[in-house]
Amino acid sequence: MTQKIAPFWSGPYIFILPALLVYVIFMIVPFVGTIGLSLIKWEGFSFDDIKFIGLQNYRDLLVDSVYWLSLRNSLVFVAAAVAFQCTLGLIVALLLEQKLAIGNFLRGSYFIPAIISLIIIGIAFESLLNPTLGVLDKILRTVGLEKFSVLGMWLASKKKAIWVLILIQGWYGFGWSMFIFISRLKLIDPQLYEAAEIDGATAWQKNLYVSIPLLRGVAPVAVLFAAMSAMKIFTVPYVMTRGGPNHGTEVLATWAFSHGIAYQHVGYGSAISVTLLIFGMILGFFIFKAMGMGRSNA
């Protein structure tokens, strides 16, 4: 019996057409356009000045030390985001499933950072961490934790500033990981926990031998989400440090922005953006494969 192939203009394709159209217009077309821009030299004033230069922008990237630094910083963000966000998200999700009286309230509270604008978060933390005017230093000194009061000064250090931004980004994003894990935890059959209890399992053992193994299916989703979000990070470094000091917190997105928008190097900035996308795709592919996504669980 030959398989019937649904014609394009039948139900299923009609229903996905609007979303596909939006995707093509707002994702594919700009992406193709960016690739085109990466092959030109243009200051961004008038289309008459566009000059095709082939792969020259990509050759220039090879000798741009700030580009490689920004790539390294982006990868550090990814590694730290995955480790920090997913681990914290998992721990908080497991704790919140312990039938606390204010569990629902806490679930909502921990998710709040994820719905606040990153610009507001950046400005707020910049004020909090200001060594002279910020409240954090004062609070730490008041409670006798003076040795931790240098956190604001870390932002002025090329090597340490990135860790402050990672903490802030982690605080912002762990709610998403928590949300993903909680949604899976809710689906676990309670009888499994009852059976474990009958066998004498402690709360810790229930988490270790029941909850965590059953979360393996959604862990790749949380990791992928955190990694992709970190790879394209822009707002927090831009608002808080502008990529400084001395490019210590420069990431691919901020460097692309600087060249493409501020320095009138539209082609070069586009080339950086294209490499950001390529690295993101490679990273996504590795995560996909490494975590066994797409494979059947049978």
Binding another protein (rule: CB under 8 A), the pick from 107, 184, 206, 259 is 259
Q: Least CB distance from residue 150 to another protein, whole Å?
A: 10
- The rounded radius of gyration (Å) of the Cα atoms in the chain is 24
If binding is defined by CB under 8 A, does position 251 make contact with another protein? Answer: no
Among 109, 242, 281, 289, binds another protein (CB under 8 A): 242
The H helix count followed by the E strand count for the chain is 17, 2
By CB under 8 A, residue 50 contacts another protein:
no
Specify whether the CB–CB gap between 218 and 186 falls below 8 A.
no
121 near another protein (CB under 8 A): no
Q: What is the SS3 assignment for 41?
A: strand
For position 270 contacting another protein by CB under 8 A, the verdict is no
Closest CA to 21 of 10, 13, 32, 11: 13
Residue 294 DSSP one-character state: T
| Residue among 12, 13, 43, 119 that touches another protein (CB under 8 A) | 43
Q: Are 248 and 162 in contact (CB under 8 A)?
A: yes
Is residue 264 at the binding interface for another protein, with CB under 8 A as the rule? Answer: yes
Q: What single DSSP character describes residue 83?
A: I
Closest separation between CB of residue 249 and another protein, Å? 10
Which x/- pattern over 127-166 shows residues binding another protein (rule: CB under 8 A)?
x--xxxx------------------xx-xxxx--x-----
Count of residues making up the chain: 298
42 with 271: CB under 8 angstroms? no
Binding stretches for another protein (CB under 8 A): 41, 43-46, 48-49, 126-127, 130-133, 152-153, 155-158, 161, 240-248, 258-259, 261-265
